[in-house]
């Protein structure tokens, strides 16, 4: 996140050897740097830490992970055609669809998703990525009928990997939007015309 924020925002000091000290001071330095970025403007350090803890807990608590997926599956009926998921919710939705073979969802739309982040997220998904020809490839979350559109803002550091095609295949439609100063905001993503278009196509 720190590297990505520094690349997109000149106000953020990039991480260098003298700021990358031993944990937890390196984490504190990163959070201080991020708190001065446009992306995290107005977001308290406590909120950032809370979000990171949420991700960590989801990935390391099997019971919580199973319950979160179950709630998504319960919310998807046989007539559900479109699933829209934001941020960590995109990870839960992806894993839920993978866990339900034969579902009838026609469109998955992920917004500001961290799914493609190596090591932190991608390599810890359930089901785990398949290794094909030496490269890891994420499992497709549905049948041939499913259209997956991934929408990311260039300044969204949560969606650190903007293009999911290298990790999930060329069938993923990769879309870039500009949410202004609210790069990761769900409302900004949901009200973008490209998101609306992807939803409409899934319903038609």
Where do the domains of the chain lie? 2-43, 78-203
pLDDT bracket for residue 177 (50, 70, 90): very high
Long-range contacts at 124-133 (CB < 8 A, ≥ 24 apart) = 124/59, 125/91, 125/94, 125/95, 126/65, 126/95, 126/98, 126/99, 127/98, 129/167
| Residue 190 CB burial class (10 angstroms; 0-12, 13-18, ≥19) | middle
- In this predicted structure, the answer to whether residue 108 has a pLDDT above a threshold of 90 is yes
pLDDT bracket for residue 23 (50, 70, 90): very low
d(CA 133, CA 197): 35
Output the six-digit token pair for 43: 């977001």
Task: Decide if 8 contacts 155 (C-beta within 8 A).
Answer: yes
Average pLDDT, the chain: 85
**125-144 pLDDT per residue, tens:** 999 999 888 889 999 999 99
Q: What is the rounded average pLDDT of the residues 184-197?
A: 94
Closest CA to 108 of 149, 79, 75: 149
**DSSP line for 72-116:** HHHH--TT--EEEEETHHHHHHHHHHHTSTT----EEEEES--TT
The pTM (predicted TM-score) of the whole model is 0.80
Give the residue with greater pLDDT, 59 vs 18: 59
pLDDT for 5 equals: 72
Closest CA to 186 of 115, 109, 85: 85
pLDDT for 27 equals: 62
**DSSP line for 169-187:** -TTSEEEEE--TT-TT-HH
CA distances from 20 to 3, 4, 5, 45, 170 (A): 12, 15, 16, 18, 36
Task: Decide if 136 contacts 111 (C-beta within 8 A).
Answer: no
- In this predicted structure, the answer to whether residue 54 has a pLDDT above a threshold of 90 is no
Task: Decide if 108 contacts 93 (C-beta within 8 A).
Answer: yes
d(CA 160, CA 167): 13
pLDDT for 78 equals: 86
- In this predicted structure, the answer to whether residue 178 has a pLDDT above a threshold of 80 is yes
pLDDT bracket for residue 36 (50, 70, 90): low
Q: What is the rounded average pLDDT of the residues 180-200?
A: 91
């Amino acid at each position: 996140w720190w590297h990505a924020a520094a690349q997109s925002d000149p106000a953020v000091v990039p991480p260098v050897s003298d700021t990358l000290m031993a944990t937890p001071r390196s984490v504190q330095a990163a959070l201080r740097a991020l708190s001065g970025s446009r992306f995290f403007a107005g977001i308290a350090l406590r909120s950032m830490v809370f979000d990171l803890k949420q991700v960590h807990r989801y990935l390391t608590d099997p019971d919580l992970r199973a319950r979160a997926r179950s709630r998504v599956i319960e919310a998807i009926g046989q007539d559900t055609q479109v699933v829209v998921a934001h941020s960590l919710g995109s990870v839960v939705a992806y894993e839920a669809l993978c866990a339900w073979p034969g579902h009838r969802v026609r469109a998955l739309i992920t917004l500001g998703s961290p799914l493609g982040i190596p090591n932190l997220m991608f390599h810890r998904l359930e089901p785990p990525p398949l290794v094909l020809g030496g490269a890891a490839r994420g499992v497709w979350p549905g049948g041939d009928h499913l259209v997956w559109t991934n929408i990311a803002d260039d300044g969204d550091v949560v969606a650190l990997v903007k293009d999911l095609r290298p990790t999930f295949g060329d069938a993923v439609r990769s879309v870039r939007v500009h949410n202004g100063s609210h790069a990761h905001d769900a409302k900004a993503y949901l009200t973008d015309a490209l998101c609306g278009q992807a939803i409409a196509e899934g319903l038609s």
